[in-house]
Amino acid sequence: MHKSIEAMSSFMLMIDIQEKLLPAMYNKDQVLENSRKLLTSARELSLPVMISEQYPKGIGSTVPELKALTPDDSPVIEKVEFSCAANPGFGDAFLNLRFNSGTKDTVILFGIETHICVISTALDLQEKYNLNVVVAADSCGSRSRDNHSLALEAMRSSGCFVVPTETVIYQLLGKAGTPQFKALLPLFK
């Protein structure tokens, strides 16, 4: 059973939302909008963010409007592996994040493609790092709706907490009436 998502023990991992890859996603506008919401929430709640880029020389860098929303010290992991956790630089970046930010046992994943890099990363993070994996389902995308849906179901069956972006953000907030809640409320109006 998955525990609730708490800001103090969470970090975000944005997977491969890159200039030449995003336009091919069937739900590209939804992925972009919900990723903006997650990154705005991360900033407001001081959550660390890690970024991966799949072969940036060929696919381009992270979409500039999302990159602009990430903290300046967010590590960018360039990879050719489909799983972020299989990349040699990921472990060092993750250990550094934990050293600088305290114990982080929950990762919030979002990005593309759901059925390739997101699912590979989710399963590896559970197995190799024993992390609670939260997948912001409507912040993930694939070229095919079927591939996206099947991968979300497979992650849910594997013990990931697969929920909408709004659920992730409200769980992180925990309650209404706080300055953070008031700052983020316009995202949902």
pLDDT at 98 over 90: no
Q: Give the separation between CA 12 and CA 42, rounded to whole angstroms.
A: 8
- Report how far residue 36's alpha carbon sits from residue 42's, in angstroms, rounded to the nearest whole number: 10
Residue 107's beta-bridge partner residues?
Answer: 11, 133
Task: Pick the range with the lowest mean pLDDT from 43-52, 98-107, 155-164.
Answer: 98-107
Q: Is the pLDDT of residue 140 over 80?
A: yes
Domains and CATH numbers, the chain: 7-188 (3.40.50.850)
pLDDT in tens, 17-70: 999 999 999 999 999 999 999 999 999 999 999 999 999 999 999 999 999 999
Mean pLDDT of 163-187: 96
User: What are the two backbone dihedrals, phi and then psi, of residue 54, each rounded to the nearest 5 degrees?
Assistant: -85, 115
Taking the model in full, what pTM does it have?
0.96
Residue 2: what pLDDT? 61
Q: Are strands 10-15 and 132-141 parallel, antiparallel or unpaired?
A: unpaired
Place 112 in a pLDDT band, splitting at 50, 70 and 90: very high
Give yes or no for a contact between 140 and 30, defined as CB atoms under 8 angstroms apart: no
Nearest in space to 67 (alpha carbons), one of 111, 1, 97, 9: 111
